[in-house]
Amino acid sequence: DAMVIQNPRYQVTQFGKPVTLSCSQTLNHNVMYWYQQKSSQAPKLLFHYYDKDFNNEADTPDNFQSRRPNTSFCFLDIRSPGLGDAAMYLCATSRDLGRGRAEQFFGPGTRLTVL
């Protein structure tokens, strides 16, 4: 089945220790997104790729970086995690509707704990 896969599902890191979260997709969608979702809050878009074009949201901290080496994979790097970065990180993909975004397909998320 075509899907969006995130690894790991649970990640524990120490304060200040770099961590990388990964996302892969078999849908062949050209747009990939990373969201941060804190408890009982809405997902907040961090950045997205339109093919290889990287689009950073204005309020995404510099501590967050992303890489998309090919269509299928996208990585989220947190360079120096702080306690406030503990959250669920969601990856999503979508087609391009030409004008506007199509529906997004989400992975199950990676829950990040920072000790």
Partner 1 sequence: SQQGEEDPQALSIQEGENATMNCSYKTSINNLQWYRQNSGRGLVHLILIRSNEREKHSGRLRVTLDTSKKSSSLLITASRAADTASYFCATDAGYGQNFVFGPGTRLSVLP
Nearer to partner 1, 37 or 65 (CB): 37
Spell out, one character per residue from 15 to 54, where the chain touches partner 1: x when CB under 8 A holds, - when not.
------------------x-------xxxxx--x-x----
Nearer to partner 1, 24 or 104 (CB): 104
Tell me the site size for partner 1, rule CB under 8 A.
27
- Within 13 Å of residue 72, how many CA atoms lie on the same side as its CB? 5
5 vs 91: CA distance, rounded Å: 8
In contact, 18 and 114? CB cutoff 8 Å: no
